[in-house]
A and B are shown apart, each in its own frame.
Chain A
Amino acid sequence: AQSVTQPDIHITVSEGASLELRCNYSYGATPYLFWYVQSPGQGLQLLLKYFSGDTLVQGIKGFEAEFKRSQSSFNLRKPSVHWSDAAEYFCAVNTGFQKLVFGTGTRLLVSP
């Protein structure tokens, strides 16, 4: 069965420091991959997506992610974190039937 693993439950980063959130997936074929961000009490906002082509994907708010097939990973990165980036981040894979399978999420805390 398809699955998504986000090994870090929460991460604390100093404002201005770089960020990397890990995501690993288990899926037999080439996946469609997504990163979403959720602020408390809010819905999900799409940060970026990978369908095919260039494995380095640029998203909104200065985020990027790199698809590495050999590692079954789709890690999210940002070179300089802002306090407003504090939120919950979800990695998700589309299984081909339009269903999304979500990881358990990583809560990002930003320290001054």
Chain B
Amino acid sequence: GAVVSQHPSRVICKSGTSVKIECRSLDFQATTMFWYRQFPKQSLMLMATSNEGSKATYEQGVEKDKFLINHASLTLSTLTVTSAHPEDSSFYICSASYNPSYEQYFGPGTRLTVT
């Protein structure tokens, strides 16, 4: 149980375009979803926390207008990278949790390459 999927697994886009990444909890209702960014050979950095039906809470230094997060249902959250630039190239990982739980279940990640 507690499976989280991400789509797409990898995406290549041109500079200036937008790309959407989906995160789904397949067998549970996720009251909270998290988006992380991971640079090569580095740890995960939390970008934002989203609760279903409310605005996401962004970590300090993360541009909320650039990284749009929508948590429209208890099983789906989306991250849209707007006007992507090469420096946005990274590995993006989502996770989900349900109350009351301190455990997060991670998706397989999405490799974004901006050319």
Task: Give the B-binding residues of A (Cβ under 8 A).
Answer: 32, 34, 36, 41-46, 49, 51, 90, 94, 96, 98-100, 102-105, 107
Contact = CB atoms under 8 A, between A and B. Distances in A.
A51 B108 contact: no
Interface of B: 4, 6, 32, 34, 41-44, 46, 49, 91, 93, 95, 97, 101-109, 111
Contacts, number: 51
If over half of A's interface residues share one DSSP class (helix, strand or loop), that class is named, otherwise mixed; here it is strand
Contacts of B101: 98
Given A43-B93, A43-B108, A44-B106, A98 B32 contact: yes
A102 B44 contact: yes
Nearest to B107: A43
Nearest to A105: B43
A28 to B, nearest CB: 16
Contacts of B93: 43-44
